[in-house]
Copies of this chain bind each other. A is one copy, B any other.
Amino acid sequence: MENNSVGLVKTQYVTFKDEFFFESGRVLNPITVAYETYGSLNEDKSNAILVCHALTGDHHAAGYNHPDDQKPGWWDNMIGPGKPLDTDKYFIISPNFLGSCFGTTGPASIDPATKEPYGLKFPVFTVKDMVKLQKRLIKYLGIEKLKTVIGGSMGGMQALEWAITFPEMVESVIPIATAGRITPMAVAFNTVARMSIMKDPNWNNGNYYGKTPPVDGLAIARMAGHITFLSDASFHKKFGRKYATLEGIYDFFGYFEVENYLRYNGYKFARNFDANSFLYIIKAMDIFDISYGYGSFEEAVGKIRCKTLFITFTSDFLFPNYQTEEIVDILSTLEREVTWENIESDYGHDAFLLEFDAQSDLIRNFLRNL
């Protein structure tokens, strides 16, 4: 364990017994939230930062859950003593979002009424629902205002949603590699993912708990998604046209290194993620649109009153830069305090997890000047 690690961390759980109202009108209770915290809350409770994870991420963002863990949490290079999200200064809260499958209530959780997993009886949820549940957690921790809300991709959607829906509760937000609504092309990728899972006979209309889960369908869904995390340039750099075996170019079942990688990672993912949860989450991604409930996209963006730091990456084709530019333009016109950095990178959408140095100073300085 390095010196600047948050060290051993225990995942915490809180169960809210009160009814939770979904944007759809559906109601559910109780709801449990899994979360981790790093650093200490100061006396006036003014140093809290909320970290929001992406599509298939979890609450374990930093440190180690067990002394023998090989890898730290997914954003360990960002969170720790002296790191950009400095645990000597800030109290970092990292929850697993609503509907995920790592401890927070979701489609794979047990419905107390039936003692069986919810499956497709789980309500369709939105990014706004995730944020409303996070608000419960924040209040439960005794916090009235967050120093910042930060996240990449779907994590960035949550950051945006916080600034729009609960403007009085955020001093700033840092949406990274994200958008106010995804492109129709991104919906198309989710279509392929959705169909792969739903057409896997083991999906069985969501009733696979206790039986064989739709591993093939979920693995293929992940492979399609994986394409969107990279870029044409990173595909070239990572794989080129290298064949996975020395021979076999004319072998019907032979394949390239890139296929080998996609298959391996697709199945690795599929063995550790709940297929229904995945379907619900990509649904939330598809229908996320900050303009819902407002007269226009501009009006929704206008609700953002706090300081904002937007970060994008030049080769990200899943969340193209023009989507952030549109928001930044609106905020600039409204004379809000907005900063936008479009980082030159070949890594595609994945850059938000890989371009550490470039983001590091931006975030550090932004927080210092709050």
Q: Is A56 an interface residue (CB 8 A)?
A: no
A219–B194 CA distance with the chains assembled, in angstroms: 13
Supplied contacts A191-B258, A192-B192, 14 more A-B pairs, CB within 8 Å: A25-B250, A124-B251, A126-B250, A185-B232, A188-B226, A191-B263, A192-B223, A195-B266, A196-B196, A199-B217, A199-B220, A232-B320, A252-B280, A317-B317
Q: Is A189 an interface residue (CB 8 A)?
A: yes
Task: Say yes or no: B259 contacts A188, CB within 8 Å.
Answer: yes
A332–B39 CA distance with the chains assembled, in angstroms: 62
Task: Say yes or no: B252 contacts A184, CB within 8 Å.
Answer: no
With a cutoff of 8 Å between Cβ atoms, the chain B residues found around residue A24 in the complex are 250
Within A166-198, the residues touching B (CB, 8 Å) are 181, 183-185, 187-189, 191-192, 194-196
Q: Contact residue range for chain A?
A: 35 or more
Q: Which residue of B lies closest to A221 (CB)?
A: B192
CB distance from A174 to the nearest CB of B (A): 25
Q: Which residue of B lies closest to A217 (CB)?
A: B199
A184 touching B250 in the complex, CB below 8 Å, given contacts A195-B219, A196-B196: no
Q: Which residue of B lies closest to A225 (CB)?
A: B192
Can you list, as one digit per residue, whether each of A23-65 has a CB less than 8 Å from chain B (1) or not (0)?
A: 1111000000000000000000000000000000000000000
With a cutoff of 8 Å between Cβ atoms, the chain B residues found around residue A266 in the complex are 195
With a cutoff of 8 Å between Cβ atoms, the chain B residues found around residue A292 in the complex are 249
With a cutoff of 8 Å between Cβ atoms, the chain B residues found around residue A183 in the complex are 232, 235-236
With a cutoff of 8 Å between Cβ atoms, the chain B residues found around residue A126 in the complex are 250
Residues of A within 8 A of B (CB): 22-26, 120, 123-124, 126, 181, 183-185, 187-189, 191-192, 194-196, 199-201, 216-217, 219-220, 223-224, 226-227, 230-232, 235-236, 238-241, 249-252, 255-256, 258-259, 262-263, 266, 279-280, 283, 286-287, 289, 292, 317, 320
CB distance from A188 to the nearest CB of B (A): 5
A194–B216 CA distance with the chains assembled, in angstroms: 12
Task: Say yes or no: B262 contacts A227, CB within 8 Å.
Answer: no
Task: Say yes or no: A223 contacts B120, CB within 8 Å.
Answer: no
With a cutoff of 8 Å between Cβ atoms, the chain B residues found around residue A219 in the complex are 195
Task: Say yes or no: A255 contacts B191, CB within 8 Å.
Answer: yes
A241 touching B181 in the complex, CB below 8 Å, given contacts A188-B227, A199-B220, A200-B199: yes
Task: Say yes or no: A289 contacts B241, CB within 8 Å.
Answer: yes
A167–B189 CA distance with the chains assembled, in angstroms: 41
With a cutoff of 8 Å between Cβ atoms, the chain B residues found around residue A120 in the complex are 252
With a cutoff of 8 Å between Cβ atoms, the chain B residues found around residue A241 in the complex are 181, 184, 187, 289
CB distance from A324 to the nearest CB of B (A): 14
A192–B226 CA distance with the chains assembled, in angstroms: 10
